[in-house]
Homo-oligomer: A and B are copies of this chain.
Amino acid sequence: MKALVLPAFERPEGMTTHDYAFARLRQAIMVGAFRPGTSVTIRGLAEALESSPTPVREALRQLTSIGALHFLENRRIVVPRITPARFEELISLRIVLESHAARRAVAHLSERQIDHIVAIDEAIEASILAGEKAAALIANQQFHRQIYTANPDQIAMPLIESVWLQLGPILGIAMEHVAELYVVDRHREAIDALRRRDEDAVAEAIGADIREGIGGFDQQAIAKLLSLAG
């Protein structure tokens, strides 16, 4: 049994053991630290997190509720495998959910908030130029999240993050097999549309961003990646 290695995570003071376990595992999955098909154990994670089974099991249960993990019939806990069809389904869901969320956020974004989003976009490009894949990934998620959560009554964010989590494992594989990140995003276009308060254009830009970004991998490339992950 090799020891588990989880991405670093600072534990805020006062955070419960359960919340810590959940946040850390969630983040690990989100950035692709686990490969599809990997199986995890409660005790193993409890040891890695220096705690006990109870809070870890609660965290794992939550992660299964949002599709990040699967409890099999034999009660084994695994990172879900991804088929090409499932991948395509996830991408189309991202497009539908996120263009909707973006559209409904437009009216709530202040100029100051848009400035902040611009700053995040610049951070993304900086990370890419520096070759820091994980940082670029996190910043890209932050870019999207910042837009959608501007709507104070917004409900979609947890659902969107559920989809992100389900895409996480394949993201990790993709990052390993892509020599350098090539920037193909529509962020500039989305920002311009935000400034014009053009809801249709914002929704369109976000949809295209997703379609041409990770969704741009064609079926063949995905199949190849998935076979490598077997």
Chain A interface (Cβ < 8 Å from any Cβ of B)? 18, 54, 57-58, 61-62, 64-67, 83, 85-86, 88-90, 92-93, 96-97, 100, 104, 151-156, 158-159, 162-163, 166
Q: Is the CB of A100 within 8 A of B104?
A: no
For this chain, the copies found in one complex come to 2
User: Do the beta carbons of B96 and A100 come within 8 Å of each other?
Assistant: yes
- Residue of B with least CB distance to A54: B54
Give CA–CA (A156, B100) in the complex, Å.
15
Which residues of B are found within 8 Å of A88, using beta-carbon distances? 153
Whether A154 lies near B89 (C-beta < 8 A) is yes
> Do A85 and B153 touch across chains, with their CB atoms under 8 A apart?
yes
Q: Which residues of B contact A83 (CB under 8 A)?
A: 153
Task: Tell me which of A54, A58, A166 has the highest count of chain B C-beta atoms within 10 A of its own C-beta.
Answer: A58
Please state if A96 and B93 are interface contacts (CB–CB under 8 Å): no
> CB-nearest residue of chain B relative to A16?
B75
Distance (whole angstroms) from the CB of A151 to the closest CB of chain B: 8
Q: Which residues of B contact A151 (CB under 8 A)?
A: 89
CA distance in complex: A67, B64 (Å): 14
- Contact of A100 with B89 at beta-carbon distance under 8 Å, contacts A57-B58, A62-B62, A166-B155 already known: no
Q: Are A163 and B155 in contact (CB under 8 A)?
A: yes
Residue of chain B at shortest CB distance from A85:
B153
B163 x A162 contact (CB < 8 A) = no
Which of these, B64, B89, B152, B156, contacts A155 with CB under 8 Å? B89
| Complex alpha-carbon distance, A93 and B98, angstroms | 11
Residues of B within 8 A of A155 (CB): 67, 86, 89-90, 93, 163, 166
